[in-house]
């Protein structure tokens, strides 16, 4: 698909790091699947990935995590 940010690049399957800040916690997920623009690097995630990221972030916050780096693995 054509990148909606730069309007020049095409997206390709890849993996990126995603940093989330949630209620005072900073969470970094590595190797998150995405479509990545070959021109500007903008990443697009499908709904299932976003849902999993949000749930894992919420679980980490509820467990008292303040800073965490973890590898993303599809459930």
pLDDT digits 0-9 by tens, 27-75: 999 999 999 999 999 999 999 999 999 999 999 999 999 999 999 987 6
Most distant pair of Cα atoms in the chain: their distance:
42
In a domain, 34, yes or no: yes
| Number of structural domains found in the chain | 1
In a domain, 44, yes or no: yes
In a domain, 3, yes or no: no
Which pTM value belongs to this model?
Answer: 0.88
In a domain, 2, yes or no: no
* Per-residue pLDDT, 68: 96
Domain span at residue 52 reads 11-71
* Per-residue pLDDT, 4: 95
* Per-residue pLDDT, 75: 63
* Per-residue pLDDT, 64: 96
Q: What is the CATH number of the domain that holds 42?
A: 3.10.20.860
Mean pLDDT for 4-18 is: 96
**Which value, to the nearest 10 degrees, does the dihedral of the CA atoms of residues 29, 31, 37, 39 take?**
100
């Amino acid at each position: 698909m054509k990148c909606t940010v730069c309007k020049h690049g095409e997206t390709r399957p890849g993996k990126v790091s995603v940093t989330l800040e949630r209620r005072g916690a900073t969470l970094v997920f590595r190797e998150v699947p995405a479509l990545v623009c070959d021109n500007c690097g903008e990443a697009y995630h499908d709904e299932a990935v976003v849902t999993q990221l949000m749930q894992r972030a919420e679980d980490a916050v509820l467990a008292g995590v303040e800073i965490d780096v973890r590898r993303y693995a599809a459930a």
